[in-house]
């Protein structure tokens, strides 16, 4: 008895996600996807549709796995500031480790595709806004429990933190700064929570 199709689909999407994430949409060929996933063209088109549809499925997989996993750093019972610091440390650890020069698939795709594809722009923007919304909730929680200056505009600070994350992902892809510089950026960003 073979594995369930859903498991095979997830495995194929994980492999396709890795290719799109590494090379970007335009630079990824159908042959690259065939080689990486181990499925033939006919099966790929039958299961996922054209390259754009395959990309969209891989992007959704990224949001459900990689992005969702990172967001778990913002949950739990630790103080709000510690959860924020843990989240940013995770971003730095990825940039210094296995994700060196990969950046973020959402950020990379926004840069590459958003100006030309309004549907993908809407989906990618929703991914960034989900992080902004989570930051906003966390900041308001910190304001309510006295950890964060209550006079701060929580939405404005959340936008700033989300933009900081996106910027860190772009500059880490180009290896512009080392880990120490990225920690400086995080310390400055988290300093925005003070009065």
**Three-state DSSP class for 153?**
coil
Domain extent, residue 186, equals: 75-191
Residues 156 and 125 in one domain: yes
Residues 26 and 100 in one domain: no
Please, what is the average pLDDT of the chain? 90
- What's the pLDDT at 2? 45
pLDDT in tens, 114-170: 899 999 999 999 999 999 999 999 999 999 999 999 999 999 999 999 999 999 988
CATH code, domain carrying 144: 1.10.357.10
Residues 38 and 122 in one domain: no
Residues 138 and 185 in one domain: yes
The count of domains in the chain is 2
- What's the pLDDT at 4? 43
Instruction: Give the closest residue to 131 by CA, choosing from 104, 150, 152.
Output: 104
- pLDDT below 70 — which residues of the chain? 1-7, 99
User: Does the residue 16 lie in any domain?
Assistant: yes
CATH code, domain carrying 39: 1.10.10.60
Residues 10 and 96 in one domain: no
Residues 105 and 152 in one domain: yes
């Amino acid at each position: 008895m073979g594995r369930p199709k859903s498991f095979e689909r997830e495995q194929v999407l994980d492999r396709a996600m890795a290719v799109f994430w590494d090379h970007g949409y335009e630079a990824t060929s159908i042959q690259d996807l065939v080689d990486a996933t181990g499925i033939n063209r006919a099966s790929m088109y039958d299961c996922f549709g054209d390259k754009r549809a395959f990309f969209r499925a891989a992007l959704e997989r990224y949001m459900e796995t990689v992005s969702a996993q990172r967001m778990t750093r913002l949950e739990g019972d630790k103080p709000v500031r510690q959860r924020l610091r843990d989240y940013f440390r995770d971003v730095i650890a990825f940039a210094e480790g296995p994700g060196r020069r990969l950046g973020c698939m959402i950020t990379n795709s926004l840069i590459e595709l958003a100006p030309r594809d309004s549907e993908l722009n809407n989906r990618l923007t929703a991914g960034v806004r989900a992080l902004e919304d989570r930051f906003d909730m966390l900041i308001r929680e910190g304001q309510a429990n006295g950890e964060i200056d209550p006079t701060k505009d929580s939405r404005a600070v959340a936008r700033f933190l989300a933009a900081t994350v996106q910027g860190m992902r772009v500059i880490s892809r180009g290896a512009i700064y080392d880990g120490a510089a990225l920690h400086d950026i995080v310390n400055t960003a988290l300093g925005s929570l003070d009065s």
